[in-house]
Amino acid sequence: MHIKSWYLVLVGILLQVLFGLFVLSGALSYGGLGGLVGAIVGGTVLFISLLGLIPLFLLIFQKTRKIGSIVSIILGLIGIVINFGFIIGIFLISAGILALWKKM
């Protein structure tokens, strides 16, 4: 079985969404300021998971795979730097490297 680079992006998006939902559900069980901060963090984590949609669509198609791998690496670094997208960032970088490696 061959691992396609967009599979990694899809797994990263799913893990990021699950983590965001976990944080959001935990935050909604608390009241007060802690619940509000947790809800904001959970919402931000869910929003950052959208970061992987652009490289996902670029990596699926053969003609846009090279640009998709470069975009994937750049957005992965951005995701790691902002710390809310650490999970998706790791998967984006690994998918970009995998796509470029298969091109060689």
For 23-36, how does the pLDDT look when each residue is reduced to its tens digit (9 = 90+)?
888 888 887 888 88
Determine how many CB atoms are found less than 10 A away from the CB of residue 5: 26
What is the count of structural domains for the chain?
1
pLDDT at residue 104 is higher than 60: no
CB of 23 closer than 8 Å to CB of 40: no
In the chain, count H helices and then E strands: 5, 0
For 62-99, how does the pLDDT look when each residue is reduced to its tens digit (9 = 90+)?
899 899 999 999 999 999 998 888 899 999 999 999 99
State the pTM of this model: 0.86
For 11-24, how does the pLDDT look when each residue is reduced to its tens digit (9 = 90+)?
999 999 999 999 88
Q: Which domain holds residue 70?
A: 5-103
